[in-house]
Structure 1
């Protein structure tokens, strides 16, 4: 037990047996490690031999395992005589294990050892199955030379004991299972395929004999027949892999399919037979002939089939019953095109039964285990039908028949998507709940595919079903019909053909019912019906007379936590898309929001969406004074939240106002009273983000790129200027109140960005100098400083309408700020976000103004930055490194129209080029990961294509002592350089 290798067979036996005794994990691990070393020791061969003579199966199993390991590690060292002797011994041990009553685990492991020997020495055991069967018949390992090719194996098998026949089947199956894992085209396994093919007829004889046994002959017959089908499965998959090499093998194996189909009716063989046939039809349907398919279709017409089918659809979801359904579905999948084109009675009956699988008893997924596979079949059917219709221009009778099957399937499905009662759903585990949700999505996908075949009538069907279900007795049907109707929304987006149908739904009592029946209508049904408004938002854009009722309904449910999210999302979408139509209702929207917000019951996310929606409507108000008046009211809600956040922050955590905050301010993301001040502050800031986005000019407005206006400076004393000042004051106050919050910093950056893309004066289009000064005030001590630098990158792009000298002033100030922040980092790794964004900012700067780094006031900063970005390029952080690679790719290819400016740039590159080349070469030579090489190749390409000294710089770098690849020869470096410099 102390880890030394056993020196006697008794010690080895004791060690193996100790492995199965109760012991600590450390002791077991130590035993396993010792046995592992023993198996690889030179003495492993004779120890394996001796262990196989032991009476205990566990010891014999370990002996067989040791032989497999020795073959896998030392087969190449065996002489011809050694190999021949080993084979005779292996066969002898195999035969003996069947005579001395060894357990199946020993016999199977010895079978694996024999297969391993064959894979390494196929030419020494050409007729492996025949030789093994002869040895099993004789009870000893017979000499190889005594086995003739003319031997009648079928007659010989009559004399083999049932247990030995079973072992021959195990060997035949393992033979091709393991051979399938081997690359037979490799030199190492040359000739293996041909030798296997020579044994195929013998394997077929063994399987045929096994399948043909009389089940009443002895107790072992059923087990042999099972193993024959399992062996056939192994050979079928092997033939699939080898089908390009040998059609004869496939044709031979096909002769065993009919007996396998017949075996379905035998309860003892059913499971293995149904698994094989289902697998073949699902993964290798070409293996079966038309006669086989005919037999299978005929099988489903029998009384046996009708009884099994009836049990399945009545709720028997035991494994064997579900397997029967899977067999039906596999047959349908493999012959789906034939079923589409067929209009005969038998095909119609088969499709009717497949349709019936959609209506089996029980809730899908949790109880009904065949619903989802059946649903997948009908999805395949519809997709194939669509292809058939579009590929066949002539109208055929089969189209009508096939379409009717689809519609009948849909009529069987739609109620199945209804959620069970809450108490039933609550008893399911998370897997079943998620699976049921996925099944609903699959139904939605099927409906969308079906629309391609049927067109608008499918919308009418579910619109009518929705209208028919507007009663308390039909809430479940209402939810299911509304879900299906909503699933089809994308099919008619922008299509007015279904507007009359949708009008009937949206002008029906549905909206009134949703407002008045909130106490009796289940929440899920209300949620699904309300989501119809969002799903069909483009309808409301066309049918504006329906908008007020829809919006009134949506506003009325905002206080319901289960409905607020979907309702707010729908309000936002409708207001964004129909802002010009709703502009006259801006005051009414503000009043409704005021009434809801004052109750403090609305989720923050819903609140943000509503603010964005209202601001979009405000943006569409044409008269400026009215627009700004509405905006001031809307911003009042933000000011209220900001003041509340600052006030709450000033209170001790034990204050009743803090501790009771969760009752007053309800939000799904707020869990701790101590988080309330920051939470309210973030609500205010996110409200500003939503407002800023809503006020952005719609993307579909024309933009005059040829006549861009110069920036119009806003008088800070004007009403618009005062609003801007108020917004900036809110930002500054909340940042100073919560100086350590990264979320606050992120929100502020997003607020600033809402104005960068705008071309007209607007509340969030702050004066450029104000933005510049605000950004430049941020220090490295604040959170997410890298995010502010990223915002500065975006800000650079918004300066296009400023005068050149104003732009240069701002750029210079921001550049000094950014590089100053980088200088404060001890190492780039200390803040990778800042390092990455600082380099990206500088890259964007020189892309717009190549001389930005060479202004006199920037030269000290430039010197630092060049060395800094080279350090980053040599570093390990992937994102900053990628940014540095992009910067240097830009820098070495900089061009300027002014000759003097270009000379300055060229001089800098001549000084920095050798250092850059060293960094690139060090990375390519081994310092960079494989995933980084594409990025690092960019500065290399630009250097080679733009710099005449690139060859010299790279050659010096390759032979510099800092080059990491010490094993790379000088010749290899020269070849690399030649390939790079073409």
Structure 2
């Protein structure tokens, strides 16, 4: 066939014009649809020149027409390429053909990395077993280290050449164009594919990138970090942020498996890798700042949910990074909270508080953090949150309350900060938008710090009574606050005072029960405006009496939970039980009151009352 003679014509001609003409003819043919067939034919020939030009043609076709290949055709091509590559080492006569085929495999990876995940493991297994496996169905449990141990030197060289070719091709990419377009938020296929390619290569060579001192590896890590900072809000406008976060979380977890915080200074590569992780954390946290409320409200629901999930992914990254950097991260975000607070940068304050709260599970028992946390909780934060400053966004206020809730151990150790925190939380209960986070934080703080607060039980009871009389509490907040006060009452060491507190708590329940019975006598259709409309069920309009009855039962459950002895409490087996005997009558009286409340509700609300009672007890949120 005339086309098959083109490659050899380059060796037979001597005239420069003839060589140029032959090269042009070959280039034109490589652009034709028949070139795929020619390449396959050439790679089946026994001579090296034919195989070389066949591999070269595959490279040309992939670079020019990869987008026209279906996944099925691409998978078939990969199987052929690995077969030809394996055969070139079985019948090794020199590096010419294997080198070119390794370049062809690298080119395939650049264009179809999604079809060839874990390419090192897959190629090693194919070479070790002398057969081809589907890379997408290969089990991830296969240990690539053990597979590599079974390879002889030639097969190891075959794997190394492909890896080297891929690295060289990635390095040669036009960073200024592809990376620049991606960082500017270009959503075109080629730009997005570039980002996915970087991530795929990074995942495959994660440990090498982490430990290598090669400037090329540093450049790649810098590019991978840069993916996080590309333009646009994550998910809504930036599709590469989430996979980039996933890569860096994997990177950080792998590093945590290799070194500990104490080993970093003694491990040559670890300090540089940690510096890169901290830079990643900085970039990622800046990207999860919420847009202004009016802009966020215009996003569709999937983008809003996706953005929220991306923020959680960043917290996972932070927690992994904490194992490597220690309390340095807490100090960093504490400073960011203070900076944003001083600058009145409310959206940035929300981000910093969110990140600081996300580190609580890693550090809550570490007393070394108290100085950094104290700089936040003893700052003007509480006074600013309790102010009427309308510039402070609702989300910022809510996140700051969540921050308080996450560091209850700090307030246990630093009682001087406890009273200001609780004053802030109680002041916000009357705000419908803040009641939920405020009541939840009150319950967490009071339950954890009960032994520091029991002397103020009467003050808490008076505060609740005032809020209830002013009808400033919704149903859920009422339950949480009563549960919080009950946990404080449980810690009162003096039995008479503890019973007095319990008596007042039951009186609140009796008042609600009486109100429920009164409302039950109103005409059908009477509506009850439940404060803030935050209720577990929607019976306020249909049956206001039943609505309050169910609230009463849930509050009763909350009190019962609050009065339970904490699981971690110690029991003094030598303590005398004699003083308690004289209060048995009071305890029995409280029990009778509780039973009477339940019976009254059952009597008032008739034949369905048992179902309502069970529902009320079951649906109590408690926290």
| Coarse TM-score class (shorter-chain normalised) | 0.7 to 0.9
Aligned to 1:683: 551
2:503 to 632, 645, 657: 632
8 Å Cα contact 1:208/1:256 also seen in 2: no
Residue 105 of structure 2 is aligned to residue 280 of structure 1: no
**Structure 1 residues 357, 746: closer, same or farther in 2, change over 3 A?**
same
Aligned to 1:591: 462
- Aligned counterparts, 1:878-917, within 5 A: none
Residue 594 of structure 2 is aligned to residue 727 of structure 1: yes
**Structure 1 residues 338, 222: closer, same or farther in 2, change over 3 A?**
closer
SS of residue in 1 equivalent to 2:493? coil
SS of residue in 1 equivalent to 2:431? coil
SS of residue in 2 equivalent to 1:574? helix
- Aligned counterparts, 1:714-753, within 5 A: 718-738=585-605, 739-741=607-609, 743-746=611-614
Aligned to 1:556: 427
8 Å Cα contact 1:343/1:398 also seen in 2: yes
**Structure 1 residues 229, 626: closer, same or farther in 2, change over 3 A?**
closer
Aligned equivalents of 1:222 and 1:575: distance in 2? 67
Residue 228 of structure 2 is aligned to residue 358 of structure 1: yes
**Structure 1 residues 200, 731: closer, same or farther in 2, change over 3 A?**
farther
Unaligned 5+ segments in structure 1 are 1-157, 173-197, 263-271, 755-982
Aligned to 1:529: 400
How much has 1:416 moved relative to structure 2? Answer: 1.1
8 Å Cα contact 1:662/1:670 also seen in 2: no
How much has 1:633 moved relative to structure 2? Answer: 2.0
Aligned to 2:144: none
8 Å Cα contact 2:553/2:617 also seen in 1: no
1:369 to 226, 234, 239: 239
What are the superposed Cα offsets for residues 798-853 of structure 1, whole Å, 9 maximum, x if unpaired?
A: xxxxxxxxxxxxxxxxxxxxxxxxxxxxxxxxxxxxxxxxxxxxxxxxxxxxxxxx
What are the superposed Cα offsets for residues 384-404 of structure 1, whole Å, 9 maximum, x if unpaired?
A: 222222497981331111111
The alignment covers a number of residue pairs equal to 552
**Structure 1 residues 707, 529: closer, same or farther in 2, change over 3 A?**
closer
Aligned equivalents of 1:455 and 1:168: distance in 2? 60
- Aligned counterparts, 1:574-585, within 5 A: 574-585=445-456
Larger radius of gyration: 1
8 Å Cα contact 1:486/1:532 also seen in 2: yes
Aligned equivalents of 2:63 and 2:439: distance in 1? 69
How much has 1:261 moved relative to structure 2? Answer: 4.8
What are the superposed Cα offsets for residues 449-493 of structure 1, whole Å, 9 maximum, x if unpaired?
A: 101111111110000010111146411110111111111111112
SS of residue in 2 equivalent to 1:368? coil
**TM-score when scaled to structure 1?**
0.51
Aligned equivalents of 2:29 and 2:232: distance in 1? 52
- Aligned counterparts, 1:805-884, within 5 A: none
Aligned equivalents of 1:556 and 1:296: distance in 2? 61
**Structure 1 residues 342, 707: closer, same or farther in 2, change over 3 A?**
same
How much has 1:283 moved relative to structure 2? Answer: 5.6
How much has 1:238 moved relative to structure 2? Answer: 8.9
What are the superposed Cα offsets for residues 348-389 of structure 1, whole Å, 9 maximum, x if unpaired?
A: 222111111111111110001111111111111111222222
Unaligned 5+ segments in structure 2 are 1-27, 124-157
Aligned equivalents of 1:159 and 1:367: distance in 2? 42
What are the superposed Cα offsets for residues 626-679 of structure 1, whole Å, 9 maximum, x if unpaired?
A: 22222222222211211121111121223xxx22x1265732445450142222
What are the superposed Cα offsets for residues 155-214 of structure 1, whole Å, 9 maximum, x if unpaired?
A: xxx999966776999xx9xxxxxxxxxxxxxxxxxxxxxxxxx99999xx9997496179
How much has 1:609 moved relative to structure 2? Answer: 1.1
8 Å Cα contact 1:489/1:535 also seen in 2: yes
Aligned equivalents of 2:386 and 2:558: distance in 1? 28
8 Å Cα contact 1:207/1:228 also seen in 2: no
Aligned equivalents of 2:535 and 2:402: distance in 1? 20
Aligned to 1:538: 409
2:364 to 479, 493, 500: 493
What are the superposed Cα offsets for residues 784-805 of structure 1, whole Å, 9 maximum, x if unpaired?
A: xxxxxxxxxxxxxxxxxxxxxx
Residue 75 of structure 2 is aligned to residue 233 of structure 1: yes
Residue 292 of structure 2 is aligned to residue 421 of structure 1: yes
What are the superposed Cα offsets for residues 431-452 of structure 1, whole Å, 9 maximum, x if unpaired?
A: 2111111111110010111011
What are the superposed Cα offsets for residues 721-770 of structure 1, whole Å, 9 maximum, x if unpaired?
A: 3222111100111122233145533268779xx9xxxxxxxxxxxxxxxx
Aligned equivalents of 1:627 and 1:336: distance in 2? 60
8 Å Cα contact 1:646/1:734 also seen in 2: yes
8 Å Cα contact 1:386/1:453 also seen in 2: yes
**Structure 1 residues 646, 377: closer, same or farther in 2, change over 3 A?**
same
Residue 529 of structure 2 is aligned to residue 662 of structure 1: yes
8 Å Cα contact 2:520/2:543 also seen in 1: no
SS of residue in 1 equivalent to 2:350? helix
1:258 to 103, 106, 110: 103
Aligned equivalents of 1:161 and 1:462: distance in 2? 56
Aligned to 2:195: 325
8 Å Cα contact 1:448/1:491 also seen in 2: yes
8 Å Cα contact 1:685/1:744 also seen in 2: no
Aligned to 1:410: 281
Aligned to 1:650: 521
Aligned to 1:305: 175
Aligned to 2:481: 610
SS of residue in 2 equivalent to 1:662? coil
**Structure 1 residues 743, 583: closer, same or farther in 2, change over 3 A?**
farther
Aligned equivalents of 1:248 and 1:558: distance in 2? 77
SS of residue in 2 equivalent to 1:560? coil
- Aligned counterparts, 1:68-467, within 5 A: 209=54, 212=57, 226-227=68-69, 231-234=73-76, 236=78, 256-259=101-104, 261=106, 274-282=110-118, 287=123, 289-302=159-172, 304-390=174-260, 395-467=266-338
Give the alignment's Cα RMSD to 1 decimal: 4.3
Aligned equivalents of 1:308 and 1:494: distance in 2? 46
Aligned to 1:694: 562
Aligned equivalents of 2:461 and 2:592: distance in 1? 22
**Structure 1 residues 595, 199: closer, same or farther in 2, change over 3 A?**
farther
How much has 1:304 moved relative to structure 2? Answer: 2.2
Aligned equivalents of 2:363 and 2:569: distance in 1? 25
